[in-house]
Structure 1
Amino acid sequence: MTKTDGRILALDLGTSSTRALVLTAADAAPVPGALARHKISPTYGADGSAVLDLHEYVEGLLGCFDELQQGGHLEGIEAIVLSTQWHSIVALGPRGEALTPVITWADTRSIPATPGPSFDEQAFHARTGAWLHRLYWPRRIPWLLSEVSAAGFAGLPDLVLERLTGERVTSVSVASGTGSLDLATGAYDEEALAIAGVKADQLPAIVPSGWAGRIAAEYERRWPGLVGVPVHPPTGDGAASNVGTGAYDVTTAAVTIGTSAAVRVVHPIDNAPELPWELWRYRVDDKHAVTGMAFSAAGNMHAWLTDVLRLQHEEPTTVEIGAPGLIAVPFQAGTRPPATVPGGSGAYFGLSFDDTAESMLAASLQGVSLEVDRGLRMLDDLFGHQLSVVLGGGGIDASAWWRRCLTATFARPTDVCAEAEVGARGAAAIALGLSPEPGGEHLDPVPADVDRVAALRPRYESLRALTIQSASL
């Protein structure tokens, strides 16, 4: 796309907040002062529920539009793009009304899957990039059908898009996050639909990446600057974050540390390498996929520890990276599939009276770094070379110590993305064909740090295995 002096309105549909911000069309850089945010508070229950109020969520997002309008920021907008949380689901009634709150990825409720004796989960995983796990719709839908008389299902981004444009459709990227997409064809997988007990017409229609909607007529007077502006299909936040950090080809892995963490590589869907059992694969758009591994404890654990330990500073600056002694296995929130370690499995080993709040924080950040490194090394092997690494996300921005720790644990140089809003930036880049660069500091691993982490690794791996064994008892 030819670079212009226009602007992009980017929406970021997160779990803890929903944001609307304006970017330059030339390089997807944030326009100063053109950001509106609505805080989201998920509701958690003892039954494993983790839900969002759909009405409150959408109205909060529309309020972000109003705030930008009042600031004069909705003039000159050339495109509207969306980055969104993956895996959400809402049960719908016969008129398309929501029968449930938004069920988020963190919700653990489900019923056992009954796919039949001929089911081959290895083949299912190779086709869909997912597992038969409660995170995905083939497990979510049968459970929801046991709870409500649903006529259809949609995800949060599908319903936001419908509210904005009047059309209930989904993108190949969002559909891949349901665990119900045949990655090669870009259509719903027949076996996944059969396991879920639904037909394709009960789910949002999948539109091509070139599709564009328009703001619905009811909003034309409310936001006149957006009349006729194309609304592009949403991109899953993992894919968007990769591209937003500057990791958009097979030479580079993006490591993002937000509420959770992930390491991912974007690559062409054609001739993609065979997917290892331990990794997932989703779609970015019609031509690209993203392969990676995710981790449930990261920035959420950092925030929890700094609160529980009453740390005055959020950096364990007095502790050496890779320090021997205290080991933390960061399974407080369990593990993502295919592993089955439940939440509440975090562990410390080697606690002594010499330990401090900072050493406990450092051990936990080191544990997360070692977990991410496990995924990075699998991706190295999959793509046949040592990948370059770009770091991004709120956890990366918040802690220089953690940036150095990750760099030492990976034992390779890293580049830091200077832009905090990597999801919105990536969604804009994908929709408009841009290639953003990280733009932040370059870090070289400190040899002494690398040596300490290497010495620590065998003990960590042994204690990690012990933690997994204990969790199964």
Structure 2
Amino acid sequence: MPRTDDRSGTRVLALDLGTSSARALVLLAEDASPVPGALARHKIAPTYSTTGSATIDLHAYVEGLLSCLDELQQNGHLEDIAAIVLSSQWHSIVGLDARGAALTPVITWADTRSVQPQLDPAFDERAFHARTGSWLHRLYWPRRIPWLLSEVPAVSFAGLPDLVLERLTGERVTSVSIASGTGSLDLATGEYDAEALAIAGITADRLPVIVPTGWTGVLSASYARRWPGLAGVPVHPPTGDGAASNVGTGGYDESTAAVTVGTSAAVRVVHPIDQAPELPWELWRYRVDDKRAVTGMAFSAAGNLHAWLTTVLQLDEHHQEPTGIEIGSSRVIAIPFQAGTRPPETVPGGSGVYFGLSFDDTAADLLAASLQGASLEIDRGLRMLDALFGRELQVVLGGGGIDASAWWRRCLTATFARPAVVCAEAEVGARGAAAVALGLSPAPGGEHLDPSPEEAERVAALRPRYSVLRTLAVQAAPELKVPTGS
């Protein structure tokens, strides 16, 4: 995807709609690299409860995002902006009334509330998965919507990025990328899937209109007055954060797997949607844009696992790496199910396990075992993608967890037993959204890592034991109980 015009000197405003923060930053349009100092961040604190809720206040979220743009303007960063792009968390949903006002907070991917759908006896979930790239799981709208309809008199539904886009432009539309994350899209046609809508009990006119990748809007008059430098600037449809992160890391074709480690982790491959390989049951598939899909596996424990363990063990900033522990050498095996597993597995949160603890083990041993366990989980997905695409994929690494831990970078490389390139840019989602909108192919630009043969050999010897203990942990996990009330 080479550039087709000269963008030197122009800039891109990227809005990154995360679960833990909303960010606005400015990038150079020629290569999607960040402008130094042009970043504003609003911290988000989702609300969790014992009923399974995991929600975000919509009004506070949007107002916090708008304040980020105010901050950028005050610091003189909203000049020479040629495009506005968005990267957003997938899977969120809000129930709306007849006037389009929110009846619920933002329901995030972590929310476990749901109801069992009423299914036709002929329903074939494997065919559904092959067509939509998702499972009939509470993560997705076909299960979310019937539950919401049992709770509130919702007339229509939208996700967080759809409502942010509507607030900015006055148009409630969505992209094929965001729509694919609802689990309600026919991936081949790029339209809402008839069976998914039937399971949800709604028609397509109750969901945001899907616009093509080339669609653009502009800021409404009030926001054009608030930020004069953005008046008339095209606003591009949002890209799902997983797809954006892949492209932003440098994994934008079927030769390369991108491993991103943030709060959670994922391994994914971007590829053409036409003639896409048959989707294995264990993997999901969403859309990047009109022509490309992204296939991968996600993991609920990554940076959150590291943050939890360093807090529990009361490790100060000088002891947040397992210094002195050789990769693959720990006799302690950690199965990182503290936050459960993603579909199609149904292991609930609270299922993390340590095997082989002794009185000789230290905080560094526990930390090393946890990072090793997360690495082995990601490796499972990478090897499935190798098989799917018929080659040993190149690997690029990106995200805050990658950036924060040299030990973890080495551990991942040894676990994969192949070289890897680290993305030099931290804001891979924003970078990827700009690349999708403008047709760029950013290079990782960071250090090249070669696995240590000794470390790779130790991890290879560890893998069979990990696999056996993982199976035991899955079998011993408590029964998943899904609360149906609010």
TM-score (norm 2): 0.97
**Contact 1:324/1:452 (CA < 8 Å) preserved in 2?**
no
Q: How far apart are residue 324 of structure 1 and its match?
A: 3.6
- Which of the numbers 329, 341, 347 marks the counterpart of 2:335? 329
Query: Given the alignment of the two structures, is residue 388 of structure 1 paired with residue 380 of structure 2, yes or no?
Result: no
Aligned 1:213-232 pairs, distance under 5 A: 213-232=217-236
| Identity in percent | 79
Distance 1:227 1:182 in 2: 35
Distance 1:215 1:72 in 2: 19
Task: Determine the structure 1 residue equivalent to 2:174.
Answer: 170
Task: Determine the structure 1 residue equivalent to 2:99.
Answer: 95
Q: How far apart are residue 472 of structure 1 and its match?
A: 4.9
Distance 1:3 1:410 in 2: 39
Task: Determine the structure 2 residue equivalent to 1:85.
Answer: 89
Distance 1:157 1:178 in 2: 12
**Contact 1:263/1:372 (CA < 8 Å) preserved in 2?**
yes
Q: How far apart are residue 3 of structure 1 and its match?
A: 3.1
Question: Which whole-Å deviations, capped at 9, do the CAs of 1:193-244 have from their partners, x for residues lacking one?
Answer: 0000010000000000000000011112110000000000000000000000
Distance 1:259 1:472 in 2: 24
**Structure 1 SS opposite 2:297:** strand
Query: Given the alignment of the two structures, is residue 450 of structure 1 paired with residue 456 of structure 2, yes or no?
Result: yes
- Which of the numbers 1, 5, 14 marks the counterpart of 1:2? 5
Query: Given the alignment of the two structures, is residue 355 of structure 1 paired with residue 358 of structure 2, yes or no?
Result: no
Task: Determine the structure 1 residue equivalent to 2:28.
Answer: 24
Distance 1:240 1:363 in 2: 30
Distance 1:463 1:150 in 2: 45
Q: What is the one-letter code of the residue matched to 1:291?
A: T
Distance 1:411 1:10 in 2: 35
Task: Determine the structure 2 residue equivalent to 1:464.
Answer: 470
Query: Given the alignment of the two structures, is residue 340 of structure 1 paired with residue 346 of structure 2, yes or no?
Result: yes
Query: Given the alignment of the two structures, is residue 196 of structure 1 paired with residue 200 of structure 2, yes or no?
Result: yes
- Which of the numbers 377, 401, 412 marks the counterpart of 2:407? 401
Task: Determine the structure 1 residue equivalent to 2:482.
Answer: none
Q: How far apart are residue 76 of structure 1 and its match?
A: 0.4
Task: Determine the structure 1 residue equivalent to 2:159.
Answer: 155
Aligned 1:243-282 pairs, distance under 5 A: 243-282=247-286
Query: Given the alignment of the two structures, is residue 53 of structure 1 paired with residue 57 of structure 2, yes or no?
Result: yes
Task: Determine the structure 1 residue equivalent to 2:123.
Answer: 119
Distance 1:413 1:220 in 2: 47
Q: How far apart are residue 314 of structure 1 and its match?
A: 1.3
Q: How large is the Cα RMSD of the aligned pairs? A: 0.6
- Which of the numbers 432, 446, 468 marks the counterpart of 1:440? 446
Distance 2:118 2:181 in 1: 21
Range that drifts further, 255-264 or 214-223: 214-223
Task: Determine the structure 2 residue equivalent to 1:368.
Answer: 374
- Unaligned runs of 5+ residues in structure 2 are 480-486
Q: What is the one-letter code of the residue matched to 2:244?
A: A
Distance 2:214 2:435 in 1: 14
Q: What is the one-letter code of the residue matched to 2:134?
A: A
**Structure 2 SS opposite 1:267:** strand
**Contact 1:3/1:25 (CA < 8 Å) preserved in 2?**
no
**Structure 2 SS opposite 1:294:** strand
Task: Determine the structure 1 residue equivalent to 2:302.
Answer: 298
Query: Given the alignment of the two structures, is residue 241 of structure 1 paired with residue 245 of structure 2, yes or no?
Result: yes
Distance 2:241 2:250 in 1: 14
Task: Determine the structure 1 residue equivalent to 2:113.
Answer: 109
Distance 2:208 2:372 in 1: 41
- Which of the numbers 363, 377, 387 marks the counterpart of 2:383? 377
Task: Determine the structure 1 residue equivalent to 2:484.
Answer: none
Question: Which whole-Å deviations, capped at 9, do the CAs of 1:17-75 have from their partners, x for residues lacking one?
Answer: 00000000000010011100000000000101000000000000000010001011111
Q: How far apart are residue 288 of structure 1 and its match?
A: 0.2
Distance 2:308 2:478 in 1: 25
Question: Which whole-Å deviations, capped at 9, do the CAs of 1:374-396 have from their partners, x for residues lacking one?
Answer: 00000000000000000000000
Range that drifts further, 272-281 or 304-313: 304-313
Q: How far apart are residue 140 of structure 1 and its match?
A: 0.1
**Contact 2:330/2:365 (CA < 8 Å) preserved in 1?**
no
Question: Which whole-Å deviations, capped at 9, do the CAs of 1:394-414 have from their partners, x for residues lacking one?
Answer: 000000000000000000000
Distance 1:221 1:158 in 2: 22
Could you list the structure 1 runs, at least 4 aligned residues long, displaced by more than 6 angstroms after superposition: none
Distance 2:407 2:359 in 1: 24
Task: Determine the structure 1 residue equivalent to 2:143.
Answer: 139
Distance 2:38 2:255 in 1: 33
**Contact 2:20/2:46 (CA < 8 Å) preserved in 1?**
yes
Q: What is the one-letter code of the residue matched to 1:423?
A: G
Q: What is the one-letter code of the residue matched to 2:251?
A: A
Distance 2:82 2:16 in 1: 17
When the two structures are aligned, how many residues end up with a matched partner? 473
TM-score (norm 1): 0.99
Query: Given the alignment of the two structures, is residue 185 of structure 1 paired with residue 174 of structure 2, yes or no?
Result: no
- Unaligned runs of 5+ residues in structure 1 are none
Task: Determine the structure 2 residue equivalent to 1:128.
Answer: 132
Q: What is the one-letter code of the residue matched to 2:417?
A: A
**Structure 2 SS opposite 1:323:** coil
**Structure 1 SS opposite 2:24:** strand
Q: What is the one-letter code of the residue matched to 1:309?
A: L
Q: What is the one-letter code of the residue matched to 2:236?
A: H
Distance 2:374 2:286 in 1: 23
Distance 1:130 1:430 in 2: 23
- Which of the numbers 9, 15, 20 marks the counterpart of 2:19? 15
**Contact 2:330/2:369 (CA < 8 Å) preserved in 1?**
no
**Structure 2 SS opposite 1:231:** coil
